[in-house]
A and B are shown apart, each in its own frame.
Chain A
Amino acid sequence: MFLTARIIVVLLISILNLCCVRGDDSLPLHLANEFKQEVRPLIQAHCAECHDGETREAELDLSLYQSVEDVIRSYRVWETVLHRVAMGEMPPADASSQLSEEQRKVIVDLIARVRKFEAERNAGDPGAVIARRLSNAEFDYSVRDLTGADIHPTKTFPVDPANEAGFDNSGESLTMSPALMAKYLEACRVITDHMMLTPDGIAFAPYPAVTVTDRDKYCVQQIVEFYRRQPIDLADYFYASWTYRHCDLLGSPHATLDEVATQLHLSPKYLRTVWEVLVPQERFGPLAALQELWESMPTPTEPDSNSAKAARAISERMRRYVFSTRKLFSPSIQNLSIKGGSNGSQPMVLWKNKQYMKYRRVADFSFLDIDVLATQVAKSFDVPEESNLAQFKADCQRFCSVFPDAFFISERGRDYLDEKNNEGTVRLLSAGFHSMTGYFRDDQPLYDLMLDQAQQRELDSLWRQLMFVSTTPQRQYQSFLWFEKAESGFMREGKFDFVRSEDRESWTAPMIDRLAEVYLEKAIDAGSDEITLDAVRNFFIEINDQIQWVEQTKVASQPDQLDAVILFASRAYRRPLTATEAQEFRDYYHLLINRDGLSHEEAIQDTILTILMSPQFCYRVDLLCDTDKARPLNDYELASRLSFFLWSSIPDEELLSHAAVGDLHRPERLVQQVQRMLRDDRIRGFATEFTGNWLDFRRFEEHNAVDRNRFESFNDDLRKSMFEEPIRFMVDALKRDCSVLDLLYADRTFVNATLAKHYGIKDLSFVESQWVEVSDAARYGRGGLLPMAVFLTKNSPGLRTSPVKRGHWVVRRLLGERIPAPPPNVPEIPNDESQLGELTLRQTLAKHREHPSCAGCHDRIDSIGLAFEGYGPIGERREVDLGGRQVDTMAIFPDGSSRNGMDELRDYLKEQREAEFVDNVCRKLLSYALGRSLQLSDEVLLEAMRDQGRKDGFRIGTLVTTIVSSPPFLSKRGRGATANDFFEAGDTDE
């Protein structure tokens, strides 16, 4: 938990920082003079040989810096200069002129003072954050959160370029072009293809919902998923009843039935019903038998697991008893048919479905007359004497009423056929017709016994949605016409010619009535009985009602759908619309209909298209500098800034509601929301985008450098699993507010079945695609980021490992060290380690380091990379390399120590490099949070992050909170200020 004290400290810093925003005391003259008179001559004398405009060694030209202002402008370059000179690495050992210690101090000292002065002078400057378009990732996540459907509209967009900090979330790198605009138009048009008009508004399917089959799939799936969510396992209810009965002994003496139900995720309503029939009283038949079982449940002596186990076992026996006994009360229902028609015809099938429905909670006693069943009955319960028969029957009815033969039917075969002709029942919600379209709702027991009012409304509305979105009644009727004419032949005569299944006119109310008449006439002529005729009458009445409901609702729901679009717009805009804006959308919709002749649905689509294409949605307009002076963000802008930082997406309802109340900027609210956001599943956006770009694995799912013939286990599944591992790790670390040091030192990781196999982890079991935590990962040579297969594979050039790339990745990505690019004339090492000849890879690298100009960098890289040699080119653990040579993980580290393998690499990082790692994490995090490259004035905030972090071991939440509470995050520049001209030496990602 975050402590109040911490909040206050954070607050204090914020206030302090705010005080010194844009101080206007100018640069003291003495700094300028010292630079000109002392430092610059030294640089010209000792550095210009290599770093002048001509040679530009390491792409650095120091002759450009004439004044101290130039130095300030390019402070990042000078940070490196400072570092290298202070460390004595520059000028290099083989340079012709060397600095004396005194001279070195002069340079280092002045630059440091300039930096400090400049940083403090501008502390709290929000910096130049340009209102830019959403990145592809942000666009995808935003569309997902806006529509509720994971559509990935940017699938075919070009990859977004990154800024110098390595992130693709800043105006520095995100641009718009006509080609991209055309793709936006196309992609947003596709998003509108996912839209469906519903009776209450609009909805989006995860796939284009253009054909009726797509729409069926969506609507049916929603209903079926609703059913599947319902807790209908009877054993759970018996067990819950036992828990309630003994709640005092089980440690919660005052629990109510409802509380027990809620705790066990059961329906309170149904638990009450079940409890009532279990309460002991004299019963007959199955209820008596059930009560006997119930009474045999143990009384817990203390809260131990044995009695719970026994109770669970008996609960399951009770369920089995109900299932087997309940079948005895099921009726046998015959088919109806009309002479000259088919018993698969719609009125006949629907009639039969309804008969079953009638008996879901009603007992049929025909078994009393049937001998065959008698033995089965005898096994299940006693049939009493005549005198008690009425009571017996009443109890049987009660039994059947409480325990329906089914709570709902989600799949139906063709019941009018005998079993051998009735293949398969995976026809979701099907009415069970022959070849014809048709759904049938049969969930009354669930509805009455289990659902509360809100759930009942939801289920009703899902069924209405199916009818409306997919026009199922019309289609059912259409296929009825086809079937009766072409297949059963019942309607083949000329008197039926006035209806055609293709013709929309056929399903107008008068036409249906007319057909009902003619059809019924023929049914009467065929000598049908009254039940059959009633079935026919009811069929026409019901289908007519349903069709007319859909047709009328199509018109009646139009205003609701337009309202839904306005609501959609405000979610997309991340703020309430102004009255004018809302009116403009309405006007535009009407213009499309009246001027352009679009249909209602088309006009809704195109209005949505303008919302998605509008810069108000696809740009970060919350960042626009729209006042003369710097100002604090308003609460809506803050909501956007928070959600794009932590979720890479638009703010949710809760953030917006706090913005509406106006308390989001208040420190305790802000901290509370940040905590909530870190625990939310959408934090995956941060885990993927921040970590993925920082650690350079964001595009790993497209990584194709592995030779799949040599590494047969490397398939798309393994690649995806490798990609997923650090994301799972990060999501977990974020949700639990772990220390950033865990990234290096943790003894845990996350695997699925595929990755477990790759890692040789055998003692875990998985359900399908499940991921599980491995808490003692060191046993398998894993734990934390360092030995994750994704990094080891990404940094291997195919058929060998690359200690250079792996070492460079650690030094550069994790520790933030700036290593210049290698000179162009470096000899290549073969990409297959079996082709290295006599030398091992280690020896080859050692040879390379013999050259002093190579050694400067490689001494800092190679040893760290060699510590990973116990992992092969796809991150697998190994003893020998592909050339059959024993691997050697020993190396001399930059501090002169000799260390071995992964564990000692961790020791080294802990002892020697931890501060660098923390500093780098803070820098990356801040740059990502602000959506810009860092500037000198950020040093003050970085220091605050480090200070705050140190207090609780560098918890991620603390670092995030410190950023979020700081002036650069909470405010933005005025329109007068221009961006600092950051002039940078080459720092390109490989």
Chain B
Amino acid sequence: MIFLRQGIRMNRNNAKTASLLSRRLVLKGAGAVMGLPWLESLPVWGSDESEKVDSSPIPKRFGVQFMACGVNHEHWWAKGSGASMELGKCLEPMQPLRKKMNVVSGLFNQSAVGVGIHPGQTGNILSGAQLQKGSELRGGISVDQVIANAIGQQTSQPSLVLGCEQPITGYHETNFSMAYSSHISWQNATSPVPMEVYPSLAFDSLFDNRGNRRNQSVLDRVKEHAEALRRQVSADDKAKLDEYLTSVREVEKRIERARDDKKVASDRAAMPSESLVTMNRPDNGLPEDIREHMKLMCDIVAIAFQTDKTRVASLLLCRDISGLLYPFLDVSSAHHGASHNDLNDAYLRITQYYVSQFAYLASKLDSMPEKDGTVLDHSCLMFINNMWSGSKHDSTKVPLILAGCLGGALETGRVLDYGDRSDKDRKLCSLYLSILQRMGIEQTRFGDAENALELL
């Protein structure tokens, strides 16, 4: 099984490079791992401690939580602003975070409307791309991966792509592949990013530094090849092979430096400190209870953000046409079936449950101090659903919440409704473009949008 993305990134903002990066995973590993918060665990190469703290700007993070098949939209509303904001029942779990969030309504993807229900409304939720029916998958790169391509090389993992439900790849009746229903993060037009479903493996990919070790072993080995060849040959040939050997050694040194940095961080983690973060490695296998599963995945995103292992995460809480069951919510049918009665009380409980996952992650990040604020203050979390109404399969607008002020780049505590605007002024891709720009990524268009979202 293959899931997370991993690779050395050399060249930022370079789509070509991005498409070349190794997508293979690096997994397995240690027991309990301690991570350091970003400030202490991110040494700048060659600089000493004091410089580090002053010179590195606090990183900005972007995280998405996805829920499928709509919400109980009768109770999905918000009015007012800041501390006095009033929230509909669906949004109640967000009550304590009102000042740090925006409820955004009325946005949509043009290419997810009128193409048939479900997969065609989902596989482009983060890209805005037209999806192709039939055997060949074709859509577009998703916003989280655009960010990962731009800033991912600064962290050990360009992005975390997690899910709580395995993908399905058959054909829906609309003749779209079910792969579109199963993946929101897309590496490029034709391939989704492999999604990690096992918490233990997601955890390992962040903390066990396996990729570097593997590369080092390979380099050691080829160095021996070159040395063996070198013994017998002319001076000119020796010089060529020396060039090779020097280059290998130099790359090895870089890897070693990266590993040393990690060791420093680990050593210091052993010392008691107020800001110390710990998380035990989750057990192998899949948690039986979906509540435990989702909580673990949120915890992993939180620790990854805090320790700056990655700055981009997407978490598919359930896929489209989800088969998740909620006995603990006293709902008998599975998620998809339940969504066909989206205005009843059962689906209200389901919606609330999902929003509470978002509240959990946001609060967790908000409890992590960072400089003069919290990790949440330097992040932008987004909760999004592919439909407004599951019974009507309506994607002409989608439910969306943002949390975190992205280091001050994003004003919060607001209710924004774009529902009355013309279609070109309520594009999801405009929102994504705004987020890209506010994360410092210079881009003038994304998906079907050429303008950032007004009023955001």
A residues adjacent to B (C-beta < 8 A): 128, 130-133, 153, 155-156, 171, 175-178, 180-183, 185-187, 189-190, 192-193, 207-208, 210-214, 216-217, 220, 414, 417, 421-424, 426-428, 430, 433-438, 475, 478-479, 482-483, 485-487, 489, 492, 500-505, 588, 592, 596-599, 602, 605-606, 609-610, 613-616, 619, 621, 623-626, 973-979
Contacts and interface: CB of A to CB of B under 8 A. Distances in A.
Interface stretch (B48-56, B233-241, B393-401): B233-241
A492 B332 contact: yes
B20 A190 contact: yes
B234 A426 contact: no
Contacts of B2: 210-211
B173 A485 contact: no
A642 B326 CA distance: 68
B190 A210 contact: no
Contacts of A976: 234
Given A130-B237, A975-B237, A616 B229 contact: yes
A426 B16 contact: no
A489 B226 contact: no
Nearest to B248: A181
Given A213-B191, A602-B214, A155 B22 contact: no
The 9 closest A-B pairs by CB, nearest first: A486-B323, A486-B334, A178-B250, A975-B234, A181-B247, A424-B175, A426-B134, A625-B234, A482-B323
A479 B168 contact: yes
B218 A610 contact: yes
A435 B24 contact: no
Contacts of A156: 11, 14, 16-17, 20
A186 B178 CA distance: 32
Interface in B145-182: 165-175, 177-179
A176 B222 contact: no
A153 to B, nearest CB: 8
Interface string B188-210: 00111110010000000000000
22 contacts: A130-B236, A130-B237, A181-B244, A181-B248, A182-B8, A189-B7, A189-B215, A190-B22, A208-B22, A210-B24, A213-B179, A216-B169, A421-B173, A424-B175, A430-B170, A435-B168, A436-B170, A500-B286, A588-B221, A614-B225, A619-B241, A626-B234
Contact of B217 (A171, A186, A492, A606): A606
Contacts of A193: 22-24
Contacts of A592: 217
B20 A485 contact: no
| Interface of B, helix, strand, loop or mixed by DSSP | loop
B243 interface: yes
A178 B246 contact: yes
Contacts of A505: 285
B243 A434 contact: no
Contacts of B288: 500
B95 to A, nearest CB: 31
B222 A614 contact: yes
A615 B169 contact: no
Given A486-B337, A978-B235, A426 B175 contact: yes
A433 B169 CA distance: 11
Nearest to A620: B240
A836 B188 CA distance: 48
B169 A502 contact: no
B247 A177 contact: yes
B22 A186 contact: yes
Contact of B134 (A185, A424, A973): A424
Interface string B297-312: 0000000000000000
B71 to A, nearest CB: 19
Contacts of A128: 236
A588 B250 CA distance: 23
B165 A180 contact: no
Contacts of B23: 193, 208, 210-211
B240 A132 contact: yes
Contacts of B264: none
A876 to B, nearest CB: 32
A184 to B, nearest CB: 9
A132 B243 CA distance: 10
A424 B176 CA distance: 10
A437 B169 contact: yes
Contacts of A212: 167, 169
Contacts of B213: 596
Given A437-B169, A486-B325, A610-B222, A615 B236 contact: no
A503 B293 CA distance: 12
B251 A435 contact: no
Interface string B305-347: 0000000000000000111110000001111110000000000
Contacts of B236: 128, 130, 171, 625, 978-979
Interface of B: 2, 7-8, 10-11, 14, 16-17, 20-24, 28, 133-137, 165-175, 177-179, 190-194, 197, 213-215, 217-219, 221-222, 225-226, 229, 232-237, 240-241, 243-244, 246-248, 250-251, 254, 285-286, 288, 321-325, 332-337
Contacts of A185: 8, 215, 218-219, 251
B134 to A, nearest CB: 4
Given A155-B16, A212-B169, A428-B135, 9 more contacts: A156-B20, A176-B243, A177-B247, A186-B20, A211-B194, A486-B336, A501-B323, A613-B222, A615-B225
Given A973-B234, A978-B235, A437 B22 contact: no
A426 B132 CA distance: 12
A426 B322 CA distance: 25
Nearest to A422: B173
A503 B165 CA distance: 10
A487 B233 CA distance: 69
A877 to B, nearest CB: 36
Contacts of B16: 155-156
B168 A217 contact: no
Contacts of B137: 213, 217
A136 to B, nearest CB: 13
Nearest to B29: A597
B247 A609 contact: no
Nearest to A181: B247
A616 B225 CA distance: 7
Contacts of A609: 218
A487 B181 CA distance: 15
B229 A486 contact: no
Contacts of B133: 424, 426
A182 B17 CA distance: 13
Given A213-B137, A426-B135, A487 B334 contact: yes
Contact of A178 (B177, B193, B229, B247): B247
B134 A624 contact: no
A178 B233 CA distance: 23
Contacts of B240: 130-133, 171, 176, 619
A609 B192 CA distance: 25
A485 B217 contact: no
B170 A437 contact: yes
A341 to B, nearest CB: 15
A178 B251 contact: yes
B22 A189 contact: yes
Residue among A414, A422, A435, A475 having the largest count of chain B Cβ atoms under 10 Å: A435
Contacts of B214: 596, 598, 602, 606
A500 B190 CA distance: 29
A479 B321 CA distance: 12
A502 B165 contact: yes
B217 A487 contact: no
B215 to A, nearest CB: 6
Contacts of B166: 478, 501-502
Nearest to A189: B22
B22 A435 contact: no
B134 A213 contact: no
Contacts of B179: 213
A438 B169 CA distance: 8
B234 A977 contact: yes
A139 B120 CA distance: 40
